[in-house]
Copies of this chain bind each other. A is one copy, B any other.
């Protein structure tokens, strides 16, 4: 008998690698935060003894979900602005609120709210872009979730920096501070082609190269963005990024709507990753990302929720479902984006985009024990012909009961172990009253 830290017996395990495989009645053995073995329950009984044993006979285990694009702290702006165009949404609501309120305290309280929601939704890793990355990193270190934190780069001043050189200096400092953290990674995050100049892009590329950072950017979010770029520079944003040498397997291009064949060719040739945010794109009427085409070209597509201000949840299970449904509707082919691909986009493809697929994104021995357990016995997910089908098309995030990150049990029978949900709610109420005041002053 081999002794291990944790042994989880489950009804089903979907490892994501290899594709389309579903283990029934299997167990996962965890040692020192890593997956040691996945094996039939009846073999596990004889081979392992464990410090902690979980018996989940009606549960499905999947790799922890990876939310590859969000602005976590914006959870405090959930429902603050609906049914508005992206321009009105930004100009009349989001930017004024951010200008008035974003400071390290907002970052802490908003990011806690978001991480609590994400863990309760089965998310074990997220890729963030916002302000005060140092404050975020300290918080994330304390909570124990996995994250890639964006080091924002802009050409105009905000509470975090005054110009592109200042943002880059601060990026280097934060990188220096957290570069060896086991769960935290950093990315350079130039906000978007329309907020960053060529000079700043080239400087950013240089710094990202020096520090070996991936790059996280919004691009082709709306038709307006593309039309304005054509008017100003005669170039489509993706073409401009290509010319600047930014398209590469180190780049995560978020949104990518309104793509023409040339854009798609550029993405395919350079190995650029696409981060698809279907619900945010729908809610802001931004346009459609042609996921079916991108996948056919072999482009890596991962999923993100975007911030809760434009979604309005941080629910990657819901996002899988929306991605699968909308791909079928748009491509006029019900076989588009099948369930196995939807799950892959929410796990392994996210890890690939972040450059951490050697660590996480699938349940295979040697990888980190980043695991999400989903209760399948409720009537809403019955009968079960194929648990993968239920996972994508009928599971709600309330069925997520347990989450482990690097073997650490962060959600335990729906209770957060490193966050105080009552404190989070109390703080959220206070922010709500402050921020709602802005609405009253404006109206």
Question: A residues bordering B, Cβ < 8 Å?
Answer: 76, 78-80, 82-86, 89, 113, 116-117, 120, 279, 281-285, 287-288, 308, 311-313, 315, 322, 324-326, 328-329, 331-336, 338-339, 377, 379-380, 382-386, 389-390, 393-394, 396-398, 421, 424-425, 428-429, 431-432, 435-436, 439
Contact = CB atoms under 8 A, between A and B. Distances in A.
Contact of A288 (B113, B329, B336): B329
Q: Which of A315, A335, A339, A382 is the most central at the interface, judged by chain B CB atoms within 10 Å of its CB?
A: A382
B431 A383 contact: yes
Contact of A283 (B113, B288, B328, B396): B328
A116 B379 CA distance: 8
A332 B79 CA distance: 20
A384 to B, nearest CB: 7
A85 B326 CA distance: 14
A334 B288 CA distance: 13
Contact of A83 (B79, B334, B429): B334
A377 B325 CA distance: 30
Nearest to A334: B285
A336 B383 CA distance: 36
B334 A425 contact: no
Contacts of A315: 396
**A-B interface, 8 closest residue pairs, ranked by CB to CB distance from nearest:** A383-B432, A398-B398, A282-B325, A79-B389, A312-B393, A285-B334, A282-B329, A83-B338
B285 A385 contact: no
Contacts of A334: 83-86, 89, 283-285
B82 A312 contact: no
A281 B334 CA distance: 10
Given A389-B79, A397-B396, A384 B432 contact: yes
Given A282-B328, A285-B334, A379-B428, 6 more contacts: A79-B383, A79-B390, A80-B385, A82-B339, A116-B379, A396-B396
